[in-house]
Amino acid sequence: MNIGQAAKASGVSAKMIRYYEQIGLIPKADRTLSGYRDYGEAEVHMLRFIRRGRDLGFSVAEISDLLSLWRDGSRQSGDVKRIALGHIAGLNEKIARLQQMADTLQTLVSCCSGDHRPDCPILADLEGSAERKA
Amino acid sequence: MNIGQAAKASGVSAKMIRYYEQIGLIPKADRTLSGYRDYGEAEVHMLRFIRRGRDLGFSVAEISDLLSLWRDGSRQSGDVKRIALGHIAGLNEKIARLQQMADTLQTLVSCCSGDHRPDCPILADLEGSAERKA
DNA sequence: TGTGGGGCTTCCCACCATGGGAAGGTCAAG
DNA sequence: CTTGACCTTCCCATGGTGGGAAGCCCCACA
């Protein structure tokens, strides 16, 4: 299977497949006589694993760990769970930060007349002229 | 005022001040005879504006627009509000995506025994062997 | 057998915002 | 005058992803 077909079958772009190979996330692909990368079902399966991991927000480094565990038949599910819990914690932190931003902005926006007049509590906040609590 | 002092006073690192100048977000600083950048209160004020904007998650491009409006005494607060609303929408999208990830993972994690045994619903999901709804 | 179009290869560049660090000039205190 | 802290510019790295150029390859069709 060509890289293009593997890309279609896995949902990972050809560009990214080459990149994952380059950084060592996946082993170097076999090559045809003419130098084309050649993939089988196992490789596509792995790529789909990676794709799903990315969709769940795992970093490439985390996916690398997950792949090792996946390949390791004698893994302990506790190790997988630990990675997942760590990732959830990271997600929740990010969410909290973004939510904080959104809330602050929402407050400012709802205080802004939003018409033709120049007075604007949003700019006032950015300027720092008003004391803010958050 | 030196760049280091301006950095301390504004909360923007010296590195970033130079970067902002380089990309044209802020005007080129005056220089002393020996070539050092020289800042006054106005510049620090502007840097604090930028810092606050970054803290609220605005991109440099958005901040550039906000700075223009800030400097424009005849601005319309509606323009500011529009930028802020757009940004809030972006934040909410990001939050929703992250929350979706966290929820999915949380479900998987709570199904995972997390002990010494190798069976793991998290890996099973990544592998794609189980049909998933989310 | 020739040819054209699409796919493959590698290599470089860009994003966005930030930090690290090297090499060399400057300033101020002792 | 030395020393140490600061400044300058310049290059590099991050993390994933896409864009594109130059050149080779493969297949189908005439």
CATH number assigned to the domain comprising residue A64: 1.10.1660.10
**A13 with A67, same domain?**
yes
Q: Which of A57, A102, A112 sits opposite B91 (nearest CB)?
A: A102
**B67 with B125, same domain?**
no
Check residue A115 and report its DSSP letter: S
Whole-number Å distance between alpha carbons of B4 and B16: 11
pLDDT in tens, B46-80: 999 999 999 999 999 999 999 999 999 999 999 99
**A101 with A43, same domain?**
no
pLDDT at B128: 80
Contact between the CB of B60 and strand C at under 7 Å: yes
User: What are the b/e assignments for B71-109, b being 16+ CB within 10 Å?
Assistant: eeeebbbebbbebbeebbebbeebbeebeebbebbebbb
| Across A55-83, average pLDDT | 95
pLDDT at B134: 43
Whole-number Å distance between alpha carbons of A20 and A119: 51
**B65 with B124, same domain?**
no
**B52 with B91, same domain?**
no
Reduce the DSSP state of residue A56 to 3 states and report it. coil
**B103 with B56, same domain?**
no
pTM: 0.90
Say whether residue B19 is in contact with chain A using an 8 A CB cutoff: no
The answer for residues whose C-beta is within 8 angstroms of residue B33's C-beta and 6 or more apart is: none
**B62 with B6, same domain?**
yes
User: What are the b/e assignments for A27-53, b being 16+ CB within 10 Å?
Assistant: eebeeeeeeebebeeebbebbbbbbbb
Check residue A31 and report its DSSP letter: E
Say whether residue A70 is in contact with chain B using an 8 A CB cutoff: yes
> Which nucleotides of strand D are protein-proximal, with an atom < 7 A from a CB?
6-9, 15-19, 24-26
**A13 with A44, same domain?**
yes
Reduce the DSSP state of residue A36 to 3 states and report it. coil
